């Protein structure tokens, strides 16, 4: 049984994600961390409550157990809504098992990263946003892609940082982080990202787009910081990706 195979993995491994072969099919077992409470976490959770800046909102201050339970609950809900997220097939307090969703966008050969796929990726976040869920930390390693006769299928994973009842700023932040991480795939052109972003725009409310425009204006005023870093450390890729993302957003929202 899938559950008993997964529970053996959970009992014999540290927290993490492990592949599981079962009756010739591939699954993934996510094993929860321990529920240690520590003082630093408690203090930072209090500080996070005071934080007036939604942009920096995070679940990172919660216990590993709370983050795991949150991810599991939200994945089940989103899958029931028919959204493109990893499907949970078995679970327990310490683990959940998902259907194999392919390979990460990072690992996909460049020739398979077509405009159709890029639009599907942006739209996947758009569908979450339509249901007022923000992913929280879009990254190439959490965008899974598989191909079949019907074409490419996108599945979003890793919802530990996700936020229910997300406001416009958190949805806009998702797009900023997505554009930033896509900067690592240098063969994807600005035009490709712009056109996919406009597809996302069609899916979300106008206030989300306006919030993204406002965020872009704020960041435009701060790009000198990223440029300063590049003077000291010309190879700093985070700074380069921030500048790239801001440039794309400026063109899109002006």
Q: Which residues of this chain interact with ligand ADP, rule CB under 6 A?
A: 17, 28, 30, 86, 98-101, 104, 141-142, 144, 157-158, 160
Tokens of 57: 């909102």
Residue 17 or 43 having the CB closest to ligand ADP: 17
Shortest distance in whole angstroms from residue 158 CB to ligand ADP = 3
* Interacting span for Mg ion (CB under 5 A) from 33-41, 48-56, 69-77, 152-160: 152-160
Count interface residues toward Mg ion (CB under 5 A): 2
Neighbours of 232 (CB within 10 A): 8
Angle in degrees, CA 90, 96, 98, rounded to 5: 75
- CB closer to ligand ADP, 185 vs 251: 185
Please answer whether residues 172 and 253 qualify as being in contact, where contact means their C-beta atoms are separated by less than 8 angstroms. no
Q: Which does 174 bind (CB under 5 to 8 A by kind): ligand ADP, Mg ion, none?
A: none
DSSP tag of 42: H
Please tell me what DSSP assigns to residue 131.
T
Q: Decide if residue 158 touches Mg ion (CB under 5 A).
A: yes
CB of 36 to Mg ion, least distance (A): 21
Sort residue 132 into left (φ over 0), alpha (ψ -120 to 50) or beta.
Answer: left
Question: 44 or 104, CB closer to ligand ADP?
Answer: 104
Tokens of 135: 């992913």
Residue 95 Cβ vs ligand ADP, minimum distance, rounded to whole Å: 12
Q: Alpha carbon of 18 to those of 14, 15, 63, 87: distances in Å?
A: 10, 9, 21, 16
The minimum distance between CB 48 and ligand ADP, in angstroms, equals 19
Give residues in contact with Mg ion (CB under 5 A). 142, 158
């Amino acid at each position: 049984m899938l559950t008993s195979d997964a529970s053996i993995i959970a009992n014999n491994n540290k927290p993490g994600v492990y592949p599981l072969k079962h009756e010739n099919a591939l699954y993934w077992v996510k094993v929860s961390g321990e529920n240690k409470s520590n003082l630093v976490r408690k203090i930072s959770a209090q500080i996070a409550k005071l934080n007036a800046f939604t942009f920096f909102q995070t679940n990172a201050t919660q216990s590993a157990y709370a983050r795991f339970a949150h991810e599991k609950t939200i994945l089940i809900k989103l899958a029931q809504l028919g959204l493109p997220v990893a499907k949970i097939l078995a679970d327990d307090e310490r683990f959940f098992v998902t259907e194999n969703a392919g390979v990460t966008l990072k690992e996909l050969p460049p020739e398979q990263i077509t405009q159709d796929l890029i639009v599907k990726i942006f739209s996947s976040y758009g569908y979450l946003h339509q249901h007022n869920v923000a992913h929280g930390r879009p990254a190439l390693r959490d965008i899974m892609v598989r191909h079949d006769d019907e074409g490419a299928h996108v599945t979003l994973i890793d919802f530990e940082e996700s936020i229910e009842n997300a406001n416009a700023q958190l949805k806009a932040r998702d797009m900023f982080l997505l554009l930033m991480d896509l900067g690592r795939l240098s063969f994807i052109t600005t035009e490709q990202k712009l056109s996919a972003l406009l597809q996302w725009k069609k899916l979300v409310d106008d206030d989300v787009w306006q919030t993204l425009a406002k965020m872009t204006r704020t960041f435009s005023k701060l790009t000198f910081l990223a440029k300063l870093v590049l003077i000291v450390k010309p190879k700093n890729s985070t700074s380069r990706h921030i500048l790239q993302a801001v440039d794309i957003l400026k063109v899109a929202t002006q």
